Amino acid sequence: MTSLDHRTPVLVGVGQASERIDDPGYRGLSAVELAAAAARDALADTGADPGDIASAVDTVAGIRQFEISTPISHSPLGRSDNFPRSVANRIGAAPARAILEVTGGQSPQHLVTELAGTIAAGGAEVALIAGAEAISTVRHLQQADDKPDFTEHVDGDLEDRGFGLKGLANRQMLAHGLLEPTSQYALFENARRARLGLSREDYALAMGELFAPFTAVAAANPHAAAPVRRDARELATPTERNRPIADPYTRFLIAREQVNQGAAVLLMSVGAARRLGVPEDKWVFLHGHADLEEQPLLEREDLSGSPAAVLAVRHALDLAGIGVGDLATIDLYSCFPVAVFAVCDGLGLAPDDPRGLTVTGGLPFFGGPGNNYSTHAIAETVVRLRAQPGAFGLVGANGGMLSKYSAGVYSTTPAPWRPGRSAELQAELDARPAVPTAVHPDGWATLETYTVQHAAGSAVVIGRLDDGRRFLASTKDEETLGRLLDGEPIGSKIHVRSFGFGNRVTMTAERMDELFPPRSPGFRDDYEHILVRRDGHLLEVTINRPDSRNSLHPPANAELDEVFDAYFADPDLWVAIITGAGDKAFSAGNDLVYSASGKPMWVPKNGFAGLTSRESLPKPVIAAVNGFALGGGCEIALACHLVVADETAQFGLPEVRVGLVAAAGGLVRLPRAIPAKVAGDVILTGRRLSAAEAESYGLVSRVAPAGQALAVAREVAAAILEGSPTSVRTSLRIMAEADGFADTVEAVRHPSPALDELLVSQDAFEGPAAFAQKRKPVWRNR
């Protein structure tokens, strides 16, 4: 080994720690304590003086725990505010650099690859990677009278890389109940089953046959959370203990998160290893590596596999200069069967490969310690390769929804650091065409994949409209659920309809109409959250929630949407005014109290108040702003044709102050309505514009004396009503058409069909005739 560069990275120590709540020696350790125990074992595993090794650690990287992996995660027993340094403090290390990695099961292997590269470049000498989960302990003790407090405040710099959830969650997934991993992977699993043409029974048995050998490995692993050997049929057959979770998964086939497990890996340069006295028989080298990402779920052409994962493993093997057949050990991330199947399919690996596909027992049986599973896989791989000098081992680490894949190839055979081509390969993956998607699908479609969520009594489906666009939808319809659970539904025709609260599917259009009867535009006799008043050709709509500053929640938004549908469809209504009850607020926007209650928040397809996303407002709508018009309230005003403001009114978009953005049109309309720099000031600082300032910028058409906004709005409406309603509608239409032209002259010359229609209308003849006869015109509105 004397020819190796002194900066060549090498793995020199690994450690694992675990406990089960029913163990005689159960201590109720925190995640920090479990990780520290594993780290101490890793120091001892080097064969050198643990104190000397700890003192030499210059970089410590922590795997993010589940309880800090998403914005809505919580820590019932408290947590460290600097996990890597908490671990370092317990082993006597004082690293210059501390890292908290992003969320995802790929993170352990990714960190090994990254820090190996950092060591090779001279940016570090000794790096410790550690992670742990105490999920089982937290759930076991959080209700105890003497529950522990795992809170720790630790000084020192921390490179917190954030959640790293970009592309893994969006509003569509939230609206359709697709945020938990089991349902996400079930979609891939059913797509693969359909591609292979297997029956439900045959595929269930195939999943059992894949995982039965995993249980045998787990049964022999002292750190396994479920060390019980099971056969294929036991895994595949639903029972009270092995209950269905999300079709096609039963409990035994999915990752087990209720664990108390920690693992650590120690890397250093060859120079540091020699200086610290680490015996060479402890050294394991990273021969190949790759880190790749898949497209967002709905954009992937094939939902039955993972090209990024396969390419990552292939590149890691290529970099190591070996093939799949040269591997002695293999550990494929096994949160769900499809995560293993996808790699096997791409590499030509048999599910029953005699070498085995796990060295730990896999996530359903060994345990799924959050994002940290593959640290255990790396630790086990290192131990096995030391026992087989010269052999090669593969670790495949998966994160997200088959989204991120990190692969590593290891061996005791000395090897220099080899930079990979992950960036180049990622560019090729990113260049693949994305499947077009539909946010609001309507009509007939083909079912592409699905899962039935048994506890919720619901299903999530992915389908394709006849034009090829893909969509996400859900259903609780028993008739549809029954069809999804019987035979092969994939490839069947389904009917989809979009609503503000999400997309819904049925097997027939008739069933859709039965569940969601089409509503013809019209007014009710009364409303719960708004007031509606007709006065001749004028409609007045009042948001009637003064106790909440006329903020809007889904029921209020739905009523407003319904009323404006009726207004635009009613030929006897020519002008509408929208205002707020009381004198304090026009509308304070979204009802944040309702939102904080945990109830689902949604807005109609036509947007906030049924106005902000409406394709067109063909008849005039006037906002009578009496008081605060903030957030969504300001966006409603921006969507209206005219704004009459009480002199005490204030306008603003304060969303940034509560961690949100003005997504109902404010970010688009305000910079177009007032000077861009002023709009940026309002949007980015949350400052408010007075009625006078808003008028000076052209945001407000008229300012009314205090308390007179509605009265002045009525005067404006009356003036509009004196004109031809046909001319008014035509004017609005031509102005809207002109917005599509950058050049003014081009817009003027545009031959609008609206003008042609006006010129043959009755009003076009009635107006000049009335003028010539010196009488008031009688408008026909036709």
Per the CB < 8 A criterion, the answer to whether 275 and 406 are in contact is no
**Distance between CA atoms of residues 310 and 207, nearest Å:** 20
The encoded tokens of residue 336 equal 């769900």
Q: Rounded to two decimals, what is the model's pTM?
A: 0.91
Number of H helices, E strands in the chain: 27, 27
Query: 446 - beta bridge partners?
Result: 464, 493
What was the pLDDT predicted at 782?
Answer: 63
- Cis-peptide into 248, omega within 30 deg: yes
Helix 725-738 vs helix 762-772: angle between axes, to the nearest 10 degrees?
120
**Distance between CA atoms of residues 589 and 607, nearest Å:** 12
Q: List pLDDT tens digits, range 331-344.
A: 999 999 999 999 99
Residues 6+ apart with CB under 8 A from 339: 185, 306, 309, 332, 333, 398, 402
What was the pLDDT predicted at 747?
Answer: 77
Backbone angles phi, psi at 18, to 5 degrees: -160, 160
Tell me which residue of 246, 253, 247 sits closest to 206, measured CA to CA.
Answer: 253
Pairing of strands 628-630, 327-332: unpaired
Pairing of strands 689-690, 650-652: antiparallel
| Cα 209 off chain centre by | 32
What one-letter code names the amino acid at 266? L
**Which secondary structure element, helix H or strand E, spans residue 539, and what is its range?**
strand 538-543
**Distance between CA atoms of residues 776 and 278, nearest Å:** 102
Catalytic: which of 257, 562, 655, 695? Answer: 655
**Which secondary structure element, helix H or strand E, spans residue 185, and what is its range?**
helix 181-196
**Distance between CA atoms of residues 280 and 269, nearest Å:** 12
Backbone angles phi, psi at 628, to 5 degrees: -70, 135
**Distance between CA atoms of residues 93 and 129, nearest Å:** 13
**Distance between CA atoms of residues 658 and 670, nearest Å:** 19
Per the CB < 8 A criterion, the answer to whether 637 and 691 are in contact is no
Backbone angles phi, psi at 101, to 5 degrees: -75, 165
**Distance between CA atoms of residues 506 and 279, nearest Å:** 66
What one-letter code names the amino acid at 324? V
What was the pLDDT predicted at 595?
Answer: 80
Compute CA distances 6 → 128, 392, 450, 644, 708, whole Å. Answer: 19, 23, 53, 75, 81
Compute CA distances 749 → 335, 539, 755, 759, whole Å. Answer: 62, 35, 12, 17
Is residue 294 among the annotated active site residues? no
Task: For the chain of 782 residues, list the mean pLDDT of each consecutive stretch of 10.
Answer: 83 97 93 98 98 98 93 90 97 98 97 98 98 96 92 96 84 88 97 96 97 98 96 96 96 95 98 98 98 96 97 98 98 98 97 97 96 98 98 97 97 96 97 96 97 95 97 96 94 96 96 94 95 97 95 95 96 96 92 82 93 95 96 96 96 91 92 94 95 96 96 96 87 83 81 76 79 87 66
Per the CB < 8 A criterion, the answer to whether 405 and 292 are in contact is yes
What was the pLDDT predicted at 4?
Answer: 87
SS (H, E, C) 669-689: HHHHHCCHHHHHHHHHHCCCE
Give burial (CB, 10 Å; 0-12/13-18/19+) of 557: buried
**Distance between CA atoms of residues 34 and 20, nearest Å:** 12
Tokens 């040269």: give the residue: 326
Give the three-class secondary structure for 540.
strand
Please tell me what DSSP assigns to residue 600. Answer: P
Per the CB < 8 A criterion, the answer to whether 59 and 124 are in contact is yes
**Distance between CA atoms of residues 130 and 151, nearest Å:** 18
**Distance between CA atoms of residues 666 and 664, nearest Å:** 6
**Distance between CA atoms of residues 171 and 178, nearest Å:** 10
Compute CA distances 132 → 33, 64, 84, 152, whole Å. Answer: 9, 8, 11, 16
Helices (H), 431-517: 478-484, 509-515
What was the pLDDT predicted at 2?
Answer: 46
Give the three-class secondary structure for 666.
helix
Tell me which residue of 201, 242, 236, 176 sits closest to 485, measured CA to CA.
Answer: 201
Per the CB < 8 A criterion, the answer to whether 544 and 529 are in contact is yes
The string of DSSP letters for 100-144 reads: EPPSSTTHHHHHHHHHHHHHHTTS-SEEEEEEEEEHHHHHHHTT-
Catalytic: which of 125, 257, 448, 635? Answer: 635
The HSE-up count of residue 189 (CA atoms within 13 Å, CB side) is 28
**Distance between CA atoms of residues 701 and 691, nearest Å:** 10
Is residue 655 among the annotated active site residues? yes
Q: Which residues of 378-391 are buried (b: 16+ CB within 10 A; e: fewer)?
A: bbbbbebbbeeeeb
**Which secondary structure element, helix H or strand E, spans residue 417, and what is its range?**
none
Q: Rounded to a whole number, what is the distance in angstroms from the first to the last CA of the chain?
A: 92
**Distance between CA atoms of residues 299 and 308, nearest Å:** 14
Tell me which residue of 438, 435, 464, 190 sits closest to 300, measured CA to CA.
Answer: 435
What was the pLDDT predicted at 768?
Answer: 83
Please tell me what DSSP assigns to residue 611. Answer: T
Order of strands across the sheet with 285-293?
285-293, 404-411, 392-399, 327-332
